[in-house]
Each structure stands twice: as C-alpha cells, then as structure tokens.
Amino acid sequence: MSIQQKPWGGRFEEATDAFVEAFTGSVDFDKRLASHDIRGSIAHATMLERLGLLTGEELRAIVGGLEAIGAEIEAGEFPWSVRLEDVHMNIEARLTQRIGEAGKKLHTGRSRNDQVATDVRLYLRAEIDRICGLILRLQTALVDLAEREAGTIMPGFTHLQVAQPVTFGHHMMAWYEMLSRDYDRLRDCRKRVNVMPLGAAALAGSSFPLDRDYTAALLDFSGPAANSLDAVSDRDFAIEFAACASLVLMHLSRFSEELILWTSAQFGFVELPDAFCTGSSIMPQKKNPDVPELIRGKSARVFGHLFALLTLMKSQPLAYNKDNQEDKEPLFDTVDTLSGCLRAFADMMPHVRPNRPAMYASARKGYATATDLADYLVRRGTPFRDAHEIVGKAVRLGLDTGRDLADISLEELQSLSAAIGPDVYEVLTLEGSVAARSHLGGTAPDRVRRAVADARVRLAALQES
C-alpha cells in the first residue's frame, strides 16, 4: 500500500516501516468491534443526511454498503488488512471500494478518536447486558438450590472453625445476595458507559453543525458527552467495568474455594457433576474440581487487567494518545473471562448434590450450639458475660469427656448454673438452634423459604426489564 493510500498519507513523504505498521496495527483484536462500528457509522451517516451533508442517494449507498460489509464479516469473508491499521479504516476502505466516492464522505465531522470511543461504549454496553443476564441465571440456580435445601443443616464457619449451625439453603442465599450487589454495580456502571462521544471529533468538536442528540437517540445512548476533550480521552468507564468485574470474580473465587473444600474427602459436603471435573493421569480414584479451581485462578487474571487499565491511564495528558489502543485487549479479555466463569457456575450449580448426612455430622462437631446455650441463660436472667463463662466451662467438660453439649446430662449442666432447666435440650439440638433464628436474615428454614420467595419476585422483575 502506497503512502497516499493511507487515510493520513497526504502529510507524509515516506512509507511506514513494515515492522512499525504491524507493531502499531490493532485490527487483529479490535475487529471484534466491527458490528458496533457499522452501527455507529450508519447512525452518523443518517445524521449527516439530515443536515444536508449527504444526499438521500448517498445515504442509501452508504447504509447498503455497510450492511453488505457486515454480512461479509459475519460470513468470515471480509479481507482484513493490517496495513489499514484498525477496524475503522478496514471498513471505510472496503465501503469506498464497494460504493465509490460516497464512501469517502462518511468520515465527515468525525475522527477515529470519537469513533473508537463510541464503538467501545456500544460494545461494552451490550456486553454488560449479556453479563447481567448470566448473573441472573446463576442467581436463579442458587435460589432453586436454596429452596430445595432450606432445611439442610450444615456447620457455619468463622476462621474456618465450626461456629454455629446454619442451613445449606441459607448459605446459598448468601451468594445470591453478593451477586445481587454485583448486578447492581454493573447496571450502575452501564449508566456511565451509555454516553455518546460521537461529535467530539479528534478533541475539539466539529465545525459542522452536527446534531449529536439525534445521533445519540439513534444509538440508544442517554445523550452526548458534554466535553469533547473528555469524550475522546478518558477510559474511566472501562476501568469501572473492570473494577465491577473484579468484584464479581472475587465473589466467584471465594465461592470456588468453598466448593473445592466441600468436595474434599475431609469435608465431603457436596459432589460436583462429573461433567465439570477431571481425573488424574496417575491416581485412578481422583475427581478434581477443575472448574472451581480454574475460576479461582482466573480471578487473578481479571484483577491484573484492572491494574493494567489504571496504569495505562494514570499519566496520559489530554486528549487522545496512542496508549489508549492498549485498552482493548485487557477489556476484551475481562469480558470473556467473566462471561465464561459466570456461565460455568450457572451451568454447574443446578447439578451440585449436597451430602446431607455429612453436613449434619460435621455440624455436631465443634460445639456449634454453645452460643444458643449462652442466649438461653441470658433469657433466664444471667448476665451475658457470666453466661459466656458458664458455657465455656460446659464446653471444657465436653472436650474432657468427648461429648457434645447435647450429650451432657442435665445434672452436670445444672452444676454449672442453677438457671438451667430441663428445656435446655431444645436449644442444644441443631434443629432447635437453626429454628431459633427466624428473624429477617436468619437461618430458620421458613425464613430461608421467605427469602427465596422474595428473591424470585426480584429476579422475575429484572428478567422482564
């Protein structure tokens, strides 16, 4: 390609070095923006025709040509060229090749600077919508599981030590709540993504009387960006998305860690479906939780992309700089990684099989009802600190004799406190302990079912919207 064929070739006398051409090109990765680039160009051309900068015939030629190019790309027949640098110039050159001089008029009133910023926002807006759909699908799987296991008793942990009994359903609803906040953060992030840079041109706007509100409406943006310098140069919306994605992956990584622990022989709380596990090349008995392990590992990858984007932007002066070409690969990979992890979880969770006897037996270890005994004493007039000490002595007795609190005789318990009566065993059972917390946010099976019902209403409303 001669220097005159470059979109900026008029000012140059020397052709671009072949290595530099490949080094500075971005078409290998930014071609995934093609459908958004075409949509933005059709909207821009429609606005230009409205202003009289294109004729009706030229607009029809441009729209028809762009739609035909979209079909070529969809069919895998488009002749991408690194010599044309990026997705924008590849499409524009192909358009001119197809329809002639009218294709050269498409770029009137815009720059690749506002064009790429618009493409990325269109792309990210669509991906946020898709990712939010995956979150809702995973939440639905968790709610279904929580409803089935609302009364399945398991140990709750702090410091990875048995703390108090909860239910498996209550535990699943904890992950549902975390994902709800993730969903809300992404929807809020979308508001700042959904602002249109087109019309900012290179950095200072255009001398043409562009109707930016009209173009924004055509592209379903909430409105045009208010400042041309800001519109083309900042990528804070991409950084915010990466931060939101990092929080989702942090939650999924923690969830993965629990599944990995729970599937181990030492816990044996759940079994994952075979389709989401692999075996060992040497140990025939192994069933490895590869999907949760990989998701736990992929969280680090997305965290790295967040810091890469922050570092990319931190020292750039206004306005656009070539550095910003480097925003796409971490952004694209963040989208792909997050989407894959959410899909894996959403597909896997409906097939997770809890081991109820193992969870129940584990909940009987570690004196999980000790706090309930202390509360029992408080309700009978014992100051909490005294109750705490009394129960500590009861636990010590249990440790010394190898018994759970529920197995210690009434006489022995009464020797520690006269406030203890025969009804004490109602709070020393796992069922009684769980049922006692029937308040909002509590672990009682009925409370879990009410939380599930509330969640289903919210999910239905979000899916409809």
Q: Would you name the residues annotated as active-site residues?
A: 159, 280
HSE (CB half, 13 Å, CA atoms) of 184? 7
Q: Exposed, middle or buried: residue 273 (CB in 10 Å: 0-12, 13-18, 19+)?
A: middle
Residue in the block written with tokens 């035909």: 68
The identity of residue 458, as a single letter, is R
Residue in the block written with tokens 């249990």: 398
| Structure tokens given for 244 | 């939101």
Distance CA 331, CA 127 (A): 11
Secondary structure (H, E, C), 161-204? EEEEEEEHHHHHHHHHHHHHHHHHHHHHHHHHHCCECCCCCCCC
Helices (H), 273-355: 290-313, 328-348
280-to-150, 270, 288, 289, 293 alpha-carbon distances in Å: 35, 20, 8, 11, 15
CB 413 within 8 A of CB 420: yes
What is the widest separation between alpha-carbon atoms in the chain? 101
Task: Give Cα 35 distance to the centre of its chain.
Answer: 23
CB 208 within 8 A of CB 188: no
Per-residue burial over 154-190, b = 16 or more CB atoms within 10 Å of its CB, e = otherwise: bbbbeeeebbbbbbbbbbbbebbebbbebbebbbebb
Cross-strand pairs, 224: 196
CA nearest 448: which of 178, 136, 149? 149
| Structure tokens given for 273 | 């479906």
Which helix (DSSP H) or strand (DSSP E) does residue 453 occupy? helix 445-464
CA nearest 348: which of 138, 61, 42, 44? 138
Q: Cα angle vertex 162, ends 161, 166, to 5°? A: 135
The DSSP symbol for 16 reads P
Q: Phi and psi at residue 60, in whole multiples of 5°? A: -60, -40
